Structures are given as structure tokens and as C-alpha cells.
Amino acid sequence: GGQQRAAPCPRGGPGGQGQPQAEAAGTGRGHRGGHRPGAVVGVAQRLHRGLGVAGGGPGPGPAVLQTRKARRLKQAKEEAQMEVEQYRREREQEFQSKQQAAMGSQGNLSAEVEQATRRQVQGMQSSQQRNRERILAQLLGMVCDVRPQVHPNYRIAV
């Protein structure tokens, strides 16, 4: 009854097994160090499952861990690139819509100027059609009506 419990090691004891220091030192006190035996095994199994290891044996070797880390880094990089591409597409779409809105007002302005120009040209053409006959008659009358006169600056040499 007078035995003290061993304090659990903050880093999981020597060897990283999550056992109290007293048990790791071989005092034989078992799980009385603050851990339940099932909890440690459950944590270890979850860790191994998280690493993709079956069973409760020793962990994977450094080469396997390195390749897993490389795969995770590659996957994270791909995900980051996908997010960047999506962000870029969203910003491009916003830009296109803003540009369309800005150009739309200028486009309407140019369309209005073009329409006003067409109206002016049509007005000139209709005016030309209306006045054509009268102007041609007046021009032909001036050309065909010849009145012989001596120019006032003409001097007769004697």
C-alpha cells in the first residue's frame, strides 16, 4: 500500500513506447504508472494505422517513411497547385466580368455614335435624292444658256 506510482514520461519513456519510466526501468510495477495497458496499445495501433502499418510490430524503416513523406509532400503540392489554379480562374472570371461591364458602357457609347453617324448619312442621302433633279436642271440651264459678251478687260488693238 505504501508504494508510489511512477510518473509517466512526458515523451513516452525510453524507446517512445508510452510506458512509464519505472516500467521501462524494469521495476515490474506494470501499468500502475498512470497508463492503462489497453490505452497504450490503442494509441500505438492508431499511430500504426495512420502510417499505414498493419499489426503492432516495429514501425516502418526510414526509407519507407521517407517515401511516404515524399508522397505526402507531392500530394500537398498538387493540392496547393489546384487551389492556386482555381483561385486564378476565379480572379480571371471576375476580371472578365468587370472588363465586360466597363467595355459594355464604352461599347454602348461607340454603338450610339455609330448609329448617329448612320442617321446623318441617311439624311444626307435622302436630301441628295430630293434635290438632285432641281440641281441638275439648274446646272444644265447655266451650261446651255450661252450669252455672248465681250469681257470687260478685253482691249481691241488698233
56 pLDDT above the threshold of 70: no
Sign of the C-alpha dihedral computed for residues 14, 17, 21 and 23 taken in this order = negative
- Range in 29-33, 46-50, 97-101 the model is least confident about: 29-33
Predicted local confidence at residue 25, as pLDDT = 45
Given a cut of 70, whether residue 44 has pLDDT beyond it is no
pLDDT band at 79 (very low <50, low <70, confident <90, very high): very high
Residues 3-31 pLDDT 10s: 555 555 555 545 444 444 444 444 444 54
pTM beyond 0.75: the answer is no
Report residue 44 as a C-alpha cell: 500505438
Greater model confidence, 3 or 40: 40
Could you tell me which of 50, 51, 52, 42 has the C-alpha nearest to residue 18? 42
Longest Cα pair distance anywhere in the chain, in angstroms? 166
Q: What is the mean pLDDT of residues 121-141?
A: 93
Q: Which residues contact 41 (CB under 8 A, 6 or more apart)?
A: 56
> How many residues can be counted in the chain?
158
Q: List Cβ neighbours of 115 (8 Å cut-off, separation of 6 or more).
A: none
107 three-state secondary structure: helix
For the chain, the average pLDDT equals: 76
Q: Are 20 and 10 in contact (CB under 8 A)?
A: no
The yes-or-no verdict on residue 61 having pLDDT over 70 is yes
Predicted local confidence at residue 45, as pLDDT: 66
Residue 41: the pLDDT is 64
d(CA 158, CA 120): 61
- Least confident span in 3-12, 52-61, 81-90, 124-133: 3-12
